[in-house]
Amino acid sequence: MAEAVFVLTGAGVSAESGLGTFRDAGGLWRRFDPMRLATPEAFARDPAEVLAFYDLRRRGVVAAQPNAAHRALAEAQARLAARGGRLFLCTQNVDDLHERAGAEAVHMHGELLKTRCQACGGIHAQHGDLGVDEPCPACGRAGGLRPDVVWFGEMPKHLDRIDEALRGSDLFVAIGTSGSVYPAAGYVAEARALGLRTCELNLEPSDNAHLFDLVRYGPASEIVQEFFR
């Protein structure tokens, strides 16, 4: 295996932990309109409705457990580090299942189990429901806390760190992502242009399937373990 691996994960890696994907039939995202809920405008218009949606998702994340795919990635990360290599784990997921499996991950779309204060910028852990008038634990201002997730129209996080990691890698692996949300969806083309080998592990071909040198299709809990064995 390559010694510097860049892994991009999406909602598919957490699907077998019971967290619905974006496109899941019957999933949260089919029942709620993200443009109505996952935007700064929606939060300004109706904070109670937006917070209720995130409360529902947060409860799901707290109740979920990491699956074999999260564990296989954590083990591969530790194994590579032990022999001087690196597995950079970039996730679009806002859950904490990579961390609970023992991995270190960079959350480009933020983290659901954290809040950010719009007044002071402080970031704090949040495991329970978030009330509209809850005061910020740092500055005390009430009504300024929002989930620390990236909403539509907002800039993803850690882009410089991600770009640097991509440039320093020799293998790019996309896992459980549909290749429809940018900028993450563009990373495979960028990886190819940089000369990295590219691999897709997914339940079914993504929108970008033609850009991968190697593809493996099946449930993440099986194919991720096999790939990183």
Sites of contact with ligand NAD (CB under 6 A): 10-12, 14-16, 19, 21-23, 92-95, 109, 176-178, 180-181, 202-204, 206, 219-220
d(CA 135, CA 145): 7
Q: Which is nearer to ligand NAD, 160 or 204 (CB)?
A: 204
Q: How many residues does the chain have?
A: 229
Q: Which is nearer to ligand NAD, 80 or 112 (CB)?
A: 112
CB of 16 to ligand NAD, least distance (A): 5
Catalytic residue numbers, as ranges: 109
Q: Which is nearer to ligand NAD, 16 or 99 (CB)?
A: 16
Q: Which is nearer to ligand NAD, 137 or 186 (CB)?
A: 186
Which residue minimizes CB distance to ligand NAD?
12
Angle at 200 between CA 214 and CA 24, to 5 degrees: 145
CB of 101 to ligand NAD, least distance (A): 13
CB of 85 to ligand NAD, least distance (A): 24
In this structure, the strands spanning 106-107 and 214-217 are: unpaired
CB of 180 to ligand NAD, least distance (A): 5
